[in-house]
């Protein structure tokens, strides 16, 4: 009886989670990242896809996109100080 009850509760929990039509926070963040990549150059408006992203997370995503847009990241997406310094020492 105990195993049946546990199995029934686990099945109901999985069904409830599986049927949820809401996007996960990770999906929301992924949509925000794509919206930041797709927005017009120079736009400072917060994309609609980012409205449900926590403010601290949005700031980090925005800064990451700025670094990437300026070419200050390497092939792994990591910040590359050499690229930043190269841009600051280049002749106008």
- Residue 69: its pLDDT value, please? 86
Q: Are 53 and 32 in contact (CB under 8 A)?
A: yes
Determine whether 83 is exposed, middle or buried from the number of CB atoms within 10 Å of its CB (0-12, 13-18, 19+).
middle
What value, to the nearest 5°, has the Cα angle with vertex 67 and ends 28 and 34?
Answer: 25
- Residue 68: its pLDDT value, please? 87
- Residue 80: its pLDDT value, please? 79
| Mean pLDDT per 10-residue segment, the chain (92 residues) | 52 55 91 94 92 97 90 83 75 58
Among the listed residues 1, 2, 50, the one whose alpha carbon sits nearest the alpha carbon of residue 29: 50
Q: Are 7 and 15 in contact (CB under 8 A)?
A: no
Q: Any idea how long the chain is?
A: 92
- Residue 41: its pLDDT value, please? 82
- Residue 59: its pLDDT value, please? 96
Phi, psi of 51 (to 5 degrees): -65, -25
């Amino acid at each position: 009886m105990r195993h049946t009850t546990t199995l029934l509760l686990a099945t109901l929990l999985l069904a409830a989670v599986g049927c949820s039509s809401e996007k996960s926070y990770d999906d929301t963040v992924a949509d925000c990242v794509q919206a930041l990549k797709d927005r017009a150059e120079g736009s400072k408006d917060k994309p609609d896809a980012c409205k449900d992203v926590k403010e601290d997370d949005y700031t980090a995503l925005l800064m990451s996109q700025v670094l990437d847009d300026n070419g200050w990241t390497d092939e792994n997406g990591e910040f590359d100080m050499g690229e930043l310094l190269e841009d600051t020492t280049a002749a106008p």
